Amino acid sequence: MDSEQIEQLIAASDLSSLLAALAHATGDPDLAPSDLWLDPARALEPEDGWDPAQLERARALASDGLARLATSRAGDGGGPDDALVPSLIDWLTGTDLDEGYRRMLAEELAVTGDLRIPEPITAPAWPPASTSDHPVAVIGAGMSGILAAHRLKQAGIDCVVLDKNRDVGGTWLENTYPGCRVDVFNHVYSYSGEQRPDWPEYHSSQPVLLDYFRDCTRRWGIRDRIRFGVRVVSLSWDDRASRWAIRLETGDGTEEITAGAVVSAVGQLNQPLIPDLDGAGGFAGEQFHSSAWRHDIEWDDLNVAVIGTGASALQFIPHLAEAAAQVTVFQRTPPWLIPRPVYHEPLAGGLLRLFELVPGYAHWFRLRLFWRTHEGTVGALRRDAAWDGPLDVAVSPRNNEARQLLTMYLEHQFGDRPDLLAKVVPDYPVGAKRVVLDNGIWARTLKRPNVELVSDPIDRIEPEGVRTSDGRRHRADVIVYGTGFRASEFLMPMRVTGRGGADLHETWNGDARAYNGVCVPGFPNLFCLYGPNTNIVVNGSIIYFAECGAHYVVECLRLLAERGATAMDCRPDAYDRYAALMDEHNSQMAWGISPVNSWYKSHSGRIAQNWPLPLIDYWRQTRSPDPADFELL
């Protein structure tokens, strides 16, 4: 590489993570010097808050490191020094971290190997003298399910994965609506130990993500453990045999298998929510939920009614607006929009080239993204006792500042259309419900002559369209429901029967809870991934929680093997303490304070979905189970 090429690569890079990667790859800590120690308070500023002199020095160091790396690759010594990883993590975060935090981030980095690989569970094996068909059954072959199968295989535990679909991928297989893509940076929305250096976009589309999960399944060698086209109807715990009986619907009828333990990896966003609107059954045209997209419809001459303006709707409505004659959007509550200019952008060619050239750079780049978003933003959603303003506007000075900034963004986008501006500015605190990324496409869509945004409540559905409370009838040939999912109805529609015939859904009574988001008393050896109170809102990727949860499940099975036990059941007092902790902290978050409608809440209004504490807390509590919190059977 000549100097001009090196300068072009540096211009395309995230400079701080590049320096960390170069220091690690060359074994030279001076490429990440103390005078360029990052300031966490300036982490979201351009160029990491470095002043011009620091920035010039950083670029010179990167240039030197790239030139030396090229020489080293030609055989002139040097090479990665894994002993530098802890100090480089401190340097990149700008924080003198404690050992636990450093370990957590090293696992997220995974540049020296996947530190979450569990030690094999050897003698005594688990389950002891089992007569079950399978030691473990995993329900669902989506993001969490294939991860669970991978971790179990690494630990030496056989399993079967049961999935109703024809392929892996879960929500990324089922949701094929136009515009479907991830709203977390793709380098974070990926397994820590399975980085893809060639993500084509910052926020990849559904087909790209589906290919990623298929590829992980292949690389991990777990596809032969998956049974496709089988639907789990019920789970029933056999007290005498200490195992789960699992009733399946298959293409040939019904079948029953048994397993020593069950891992529920069915997710939270898989049961479509279609509102109960008066007259919907009499609509004369086609109607469907966005998760069951109709690719056979020719939209050219159609009037389309879209009900809902959540995350999915804001992705597919712009595509409908380009294809249909008329699109009428019915909005109950406007979302807060977070500007993300690169939302639909491809990764810079120079950045992709650096991922190729610098060993481990994709991992360091991912860690930097993780750190910049993992805690800092969520603090703005937590109530501050010093805030004396109205809680229906904001919950803290930082939250109010975020509101002002996002309102300014909406005013900039819709300033030339005061009629639309009045409809799109939310009247609830930022973070009280899911925020949506935007690169300007929402304003451009709503300003189209063939698009109308309606904020009057829907009165009823009529054969020819939608009638709103103001008496207007909005003609529609097709209705598309972008109304989200029944997220709080965990494990539905399966029937789950535990010890003594207890019914799980009756036990929950509409308010799902789980100790560590994983275990429920009375239901031994049933482990939930992406369970109650494990959804994260603006501070990272759900894959982080899935990896923590999968680690915890393996450690639970290790405990059983070490104790020679067949089953473990969470103690009610531990369960109740944990539920109270979640409720206490969620009550201090924007989503727990505001009464605005949200999928974060159960039917009773309790926050059943969200995690309200720092991410490090979940990492720490899922390192290993506390035997005192369980009854071993």
pLDDT in tens, 404-452: 999 999 999 999 999 999 999 999 999 999 999 999 999 999 999 999 9
Residue 97 lies in a domain: yes
8 Å CB contact between 529 and 543: no
8 Å CB contact between 362 and 487: no
Residue 424 lies in a domain: no
Residue 556 lies in a domain: yes
Partners of 466 in beta bridges: 461, 474
**Res 142: pLDDT:** 97
Residues 521 and 584 grouped into a single domain: yes
**Res 122: pLDDT:** 66
**Res 608: pLDDT:** 93
Residue 245 lies in a domain: yes
Residue 452 lies in a domain: yes
CA distance 234 to 565: 25
Residues 605 and 471 grouped into a single domain: no
Residues 519 and 628 grouped into a single domain: yes
Residues 369 and 466 grouped into a single domain: no
Residues 156 and 257 grouped into a single domain: yes
**Res 49: pLDDT:** 87
Residues 171 and 83 grouped into a single domain: no
Residue 123 lies in a domain: no
Range of 251's domain?
134-271+487-632
Which of 481, 516, 549 marks a domain boundary? 481
Residues 260 and 290 grouped into a single domain: no
Residue 388 lies in a domain: no
Residues 176 and 36 grouped into a single domain: no
Which of 481, 500, 521 marks a domain boundary? 481
CATH of the domain at 506: 3.50.50.60
Residues 256 and 354 grouped into a single domain: no
How far, in whole angstroms, is CA 587 from its chain's centroid? 22
Residues 494 and 618 grouped into a single domain: yes
Compute φ and ψ for 69, nearest 5 degrees.
-65, -40
**Res 74: pLDDT:** 47
Residues 327 and 452 grouped into a single domain: yes
User: How many structural domains compose the chain?
Assistant: 3
**Res 78: pLDDT:** 63
CA distance 501 to 512: 18
Residue 392 lies in a domain: no
**Res 151: pLDDT:** 95
Residue ranges, the chain, pLDDT below 50: 74-75
How far, in whole angstroms, is CA 416 from its chain's centroid? 35
Residues 244 and 285 grouped into a single domain: no
